Amino acid sequence: MSELPIVTILTDFGQRDPFVGIVKGVVLSHCRHAILVDLCHEVPAFSILGASLQLQSAMGYFPAGTIHLVVVDPGVGGARRPLVARIGEQLFVAPDNGVLSHTLMAAKEWRAWEVTEPSFVRNPASATFHGRDIFAPVAGMLAAGSPPQTFGPEVSDLAVLSIPRVVTEPDRLRGEVVWVDGFGNCLTNIGRRDLNALQGRVRAVLEVFAGTQRIGRVVPRFEAAGAGGVGALIGSTDHLELFKNRGNLAAEWGVAPGTTVVVGAAAVRMTHGQFPMAKTKN
């Protein structure tokens, strides 16, 4: 017996409305035996880059052949193309608006097809709910066994957003917050390798600032900061996270995506009283 198809669903729909349930119903209408996995439905509204980051952080934990349905689509009804993509050994159904940016940048090889065949989508398609009328039917048909090339012509000019990069200086790193999780922990774009390389250069305890605020030192676990203490550690994505132990750092300290994060030796202090703030990415 062949393995049951897996379809993950990532949206900014939230849970207040029936939108997620409707999308699931459409997928199941085309492939009743599909296994549906709610990846996340609390992506901040219209946050294409945030959805791209969440997708990349999760896809490596799913088996080959998984179908990822992504509907974070502020341009719904506009000129952006609906896509099917094969990236590595997994399939993706998403708008061509940059939501696959992190995944594409990390990929060794990929192929993509624009969804143009009218027989695969609802007619007429709503101007406001392509998740139901275009993306969900395509995901369901893929789960039922339709090859990705049957949905339309192959394309190679996919939209890719600018991904924030870490700036490396002799005695410090400068990155930024790229995501805030449900606990208020602030994920940065500074990776374990970046920190290890800095540690090798400065050979000192590392200290972290967020904007003008001193967060504290890099510690191995939450409890090392003490009850109510703040600090930074390498989290589950292998990137630096800023936290308040048993608290909400983002809400209490006003840290948000786009906030500059600087890591340096404990003796390094801010130049002229503050570090330059990074621009918030759209």
Question: Could you report the per-residue pLDDT of 229-254, keeping only the tens digit for each?
Answer: 999 999 999 999 999 999 999 999 99
Decide if pLDDT at 280 tops 70. no
Q: What pLDDT, on a 0 to 100 scale, did the predictor assign at position 2? A: 58
Tokens representing 136 are: 């969900």
Residue type, 85: A
Q: What pLDDT, on a 0 to 100 scale, did the predictor assign at position 277? A: 36
Decide if pLDDT at 281 tops 60. no
Decide if pLDDT at 77 tops 50. yes
In which band, very low, low, confident or very high, does the pLDDT at 4 lie, cut at 50, 70 and 90?
A: very high
Domains defined for the chain, CATH in brackets: 6-155 (3.40.50.10790), 167-273 (2.40.30.90)
Q: What pLDDT, on a 0 to 100 scale, did the predictor assign at position 275? A: 36
Q: What is the DSSP letter of 278?
A: P
Q: What SS3 class is residue 110?
A: strand
Decide if pLDDT at 267 tops 60. no
CA 195, chain centre distance (Å):
21
- Report pTM: 0.89
Q: What SS3 class is residue 92?
A: strand
Quote the Cα angle for 73-76-78, to 5°. Answer: 130
User: Tokens 């406001």, residue?
Assistant: 128
Where would I find the H helices in the chain?
19-30, 48-59, 101-106, 130, 136-143, 192-202, 249-253
Residue 50, beta-bridge partner list: none
Mean pLDDT of the 114-138 span? 95
| Lowest-pLDDT choice from 82-91, 173-182, 200-209 | 200-209
Burial of 49: CB neighbours in 10 Å, binned 0-12, 13-18, 19+? buried
Decide if pLDDT at 192 tops 70. yes
Q: What pLDDT, on a 0 to 100 scale, did the predictor assign at position 3? A: 87
Decide if pLDDT at 101 tops 50. yes
Average pLDDT, the chain: 93
**Nearest CA among 162, 8, 117, 155 for reference residue 71:** 8
Q: What SS3 class is residue 186?
A: strand
**Nearest CA among 245, 237, 228 for reference residue 185:** 245
Whether 274 contacts 212, CB under 8 Å: yes
